[in-house]
A and B are shown apart, each in its own frame.
Chain A
Amino acid sequence: GQQVMQIPQYQHVQEGEDFTTYCNSSTTLSNIQWYKQRPGGHPVFLIQLVKSGEVKKQKRLTFQFGEAKKNSSLHITATQTTDVGTYFCAGYGGNAGNMLTFGGGTRLMVKP
């Protein structure tokens, strides 16, 4: 079945440093989504990427979708303490149909 892997699992950064999480799928995705889950909270939708090679920005966050539509990345510039949480990628595609398959998440911790 479809598998989505995310690295790293954990990341500690000093406030102001950059952060990147990477997502890889075992199959081609029709689209990829990113979610953020704050500690004690529930996942909240950030963005969806659909096109091969697509790049989208939200303030300090930059999302990329690979040319082969099998990988994606989220880059945060100059992290802030409010960025703390777990970032998940999730993909639709392959034989999974309407099933959204989540990566294991990257937990970001920011030291002030």
Chain B
Amino acid sequence: KAGVTQTPRYLIKTRGQQVTLSCSPISGHRSVSWYQQTPGQGLQFLFEYFSETQRNKGNFPGRFSGRQFSNSRSEMNVSTLELGDSALYLCASSIRTGGTTEAFFGQGTRLTVV
């Protein structure tokens, strides 16, 4: 069974540009969550999608947006990039089985804004 796939793995962008990151969840998983990981802030929740609907949203500015497609694949977009957006962006898919909702993380996309 394939794991969570995130593309691209690495990205370098310039301030002011926009970026789109992609996440393909494990087959059968309908919930996809996005996290930003930085050395100083740990894992910060961005948003969660379930069946193409955003169910939860973290405390990030409106420059951060996302969507989910009918095949559960998800994208997140960051517009007007700032230097502080440099981070590892992790996507996790999950499914509830036997009372446990385990999040399976992808390898992440490391975004560097210069």
Chain A residues close to B by CB (< 8 Å) = 1, 33, 35, 41-45, 48, 50, 88, 90, 92, 96-105
Contact = CB atoms under 8 A, between A and B. Distances in A.
Contacts of B102: 33, 45, 48
Interface string B39-58: 00111110010100001101
Given A97-B56, A98-B48, A98-B56, A88 B43 contact: yes
Contacts of A48: 100-102
Nearest to B108: A42
Contacts, number: 55
B83 interface: no
A97 B105 CA distance: 20
Nearest to B45: A99
B100 A102 contact: no
Interface residues of B, number: 26
Interface of B: 31, 33, 35, 41-45, 48, 50, 55-56, 58-59, 90, 92, 99-108
A99 B90 contact: no
Most A C-beta atoms less than 10 A away, residue of B35, B58, B103:
B103
Contact of B45 (A33, A41, A50, A101): A101
A43 B45 contact: no
B55 A43 contact: no
A14 B105 CA distance: 30
B89 to A, nearest CB: 11
B71 to A, nearest CB: 21
Contacts of A104: 41-42
B43 to A, nearest CB: 4
Nearest to B56: A99
A97 B35 contact: no
B77 to A, nearest CB: 20
A96 B104 CA distance: 19
A105 B88 CA distance: 15
A100 B42 contact: no
Contact of A99 (B42, B58, B99, B105): B58
